[in-house]
Structure 1
Amino acid sequence: MDLIAIVVGLHLFVFGICVEGQGLSYNFYENSCPQVEAIVRAAIQPIFLTDPTSPAAFLRLMFHDCQVQVSCADILVLAAREAVVVSGGPQIKVALGRRDSPFAPSYKHADSLLPSATTGVDGMLQLFANKEMTVEESVAIMGAHTLGVTHCLNILNRLNQADEGGQVQGMAPGFESFLRLNCPQGSLASNASFVLNDPTTLTFDNHYYKNVIRGHGVLRVDTEMIMDPRTAMAVKRFAANQDDFFQAFSSAFVKLSNSGVLTGNQGVVRKNCNALD
């Protein structure tokens, strides 16, 4: 089932009758729709059961939306929050009351606002600092990569940047060989083929950081985080203590979900997530 269609359906079902209040709050729908969180949970749990890859998709969709404002607002945050929980991650309490963007950015404009596969630690820290995250929270939010996959198209450029000895800096030789085998240069299927972000790709845990320490980081930023003194300590701590990771991730998730939101009389409440009314 198309993920956007799911979001559209949920939005029409829930928020067509649940609009009230001003600004973000934890009881925004207390009078108009007090069971909103339970309704969302009940609606998406069957999706999670029939498609084990959907939690990663919902989480990515929310992350991308927070960069470009193209969603149905609250419904996407709640769906992403449930995606984390159903995958074994922390319970995250989020304030509600977001309204939709009155503009629909172009595909190219949206792409220009999203971090690329070549983004390193400097770019990552700047991106999340703009959303008022600490260095620790920035490292924690990257832990969302514990779910899902990375398409080979986003890896080929990195594999081309080997040193004189033929090795990619910071990447374990055995893992590099694995990536080259699964993402061959010149492959016509590089956009369709992929590699797992970590061995427990369906479980929200701290294995992402353990992989980074072992030199099994898939993206450039993964490898740089353990090599950069600004981020290395947080990577090691999260690898050693999953509870610390969950706590920092929860804080970062809330900050990301609150970044640049439209509330009150700002924005609109769309009837169709895919289009402006």
Structure 2
Amino acid sequence: MQLESIEVQLSYDHYKFTCPRVETIVQREMLSIFLTDPTAPAAFLRLFFHDCQVQGCDASILLDGNDSTNKLSEMVSSRNFGIRNRETIGHIKSKLEFECPGKVSCADIIALAARESVSLSGPRIQIPLGRRDSTTYSSQQADADLPPQGITVDELIHIFDSKGMNLEESVAILGAHTLGVGHCQNIGSRLYDPQPGDQMDQKFEAFLRKICPGRIPLTNFCFAPNDGTPAIFDNQYYRDVLKGRGLFGIDSNISRDPRTAPIVRQFAVDQNHFFGVFSSAFVKLSSTNVLTNGEGQVRRQCNRIIVDER
């Protein structure tokens, strides 16, 4: 289905009559979380990206596995290492079920939570709503669809082109790396087995080697900040990338590739422009391959499919 037709089925006033306070409730609950956990915005944004990358933005990432059928949750995928706050989406869902039972999808809650995570210190993005929740999930599809840490610029362009993004928007969506941290498990190979042509500031590399002293970390709790302001959504990521201080190989690649380097430089000096392009990319990502109208369902609990809706 084309992006244009999906955007018609989603709408900016979808809950006007069925749950008019949905955005207010989500915003209130998210603010409460942010006040106690400054790392939460990055976690919710990553949850959103990983949900949307597999089957579209359908909350399939929230579904638990089924022991009786040996069907594994998407969380089993190694690509979902470090994903958290799934239960928090369920908590927000319970608040909305009390307010307007059976109306607000878990998929929309994920999208709104990600929107609030960005707007806490970045742009306020208006997103259309009306996504429905999937009744399927697949750890194998998560393995196949979630991009690896060693993604190339060509692969990046291909992935986001399929979601209707142009080149500038594809570079902008990477700006989400401005929030949060990278786990040593995901950057160890770059530090100790770098690809030809990969470039990193020597002092920054030495700093990372102290944090991540081996290719395979001893624990899952070793991590490094994504940029110099990991709790603020800004354009610091692009400024750091130009200095060779990006965590991942793709960070180095977009600063050197002739197709993307001019965009990186522009975002590094013009935060408002970055915010505008990121907002456009965010809406496109959140609107691609979604379930609408009679497709899927609106779950009552985000981790469980409704088996019989009669």
The bucket for the TM-score relative to the shorter chain is 0.7 to 0.9
Identity %: 51
Counterpart selection for 1:57 from 43, 49, 73: 43
- Partners of 2:33 and 2:266 lie apart in 1 by 34
1:271 aligns with 2:300: yes
Alignment correspondent of 2:179: 147
Query: 1:191 and 1:231, CA in 2 relative to 1: closer, same or farther beyond 3 A?
Result: same
Deviations 1:67-113 (A, max 9, x none): 12415210110111011111x1001000000000110223x431321
- The one-letter amino acid of 2:305's match is L
**How far is 1:157 from its partner?**
1.0
Counterpart selection for 2:257 from 200, 217, 228: 228
CA RMSD after TM alignment:
1.6
CA contact (8 A) 2:42 2:180 kept: yes
- The one-letter amino acid of 1:203's match is I
Alignment correspondent of 1:134: 166
- Partners of 2:236 and 2:182 lie apart in 1 by 16
Query: 1:250 and 1:92, CA in 2 relative to 1: closer, same or farther beyond 3 A?
Result: same
- Partners of 1:137 and 1:187 lie apart in 2 by 33
Superposition pairs of residues 9-24 of structure 1, within 5 angstroms? 23-24=9-10
**How far is 1:176 from its partner?**
1.2
Superposition pairs of residues 79-94 of structure 1, within 5 angstroms? 79-86=113-120, 88-94=121-127
1:100 aligns with 2:158: no
CA contact (8 A) 2:191 2:209 kept: yes
SS in 2 for 1:185: coil
- The one-letter amino acid of 1:114's match is L
CA contact (8 A) 2:172 2:274 kept: yes
- The one-letter amino acid of 1:230's match is R
1:115 aligns with 2:144: no
Structure 2 unpaired stretches of 5+: 1-7, 63-105
Alignment correspondent of 1:36: 22
Deviations 1:48-72 (A, max 9, x none): 1011111111111111110124152
TM-score (norm. length: structure 2)? 0.78
CA contact (8 A) 1:172 1:216 kept: yes
SS in 1 for 2:182: strand
CA contact (8 A) 2:11 2:130 kept: yes
CA contact (8 A) 2:123 2:275 kept: yes
- Partners of 2:122 and 2:218 lie apart in 1 by 32
Alignment correspondent of 2:102: none
Query: 1:250 and 1:195, CA in 2 relative to 1: closer, same or farther beyond 3 A?
Result: same
- The one-letter amino acid of 1:147's match is L
- The one-letter amino acid of 1:115's match is P
Query: 1:190 and 1:229, CA in 2 relative to 1: closer, same or farther beyond 3 A?
Result: farther
SS in 2 for 1:155: helix
Deviations 1:20-65 (A, max 9, x none): xx92011111111122111111122100101111111111111111
Worse-matched range after superposition: 170-179 or 215-224? 170-179
Deviations 1:248-271 (A, max 9, x none): 000000000001000000111111
- The one-letter amino acid of 2:130's match is G
CA contact (8 A) 2:42 2:117 kept: yes
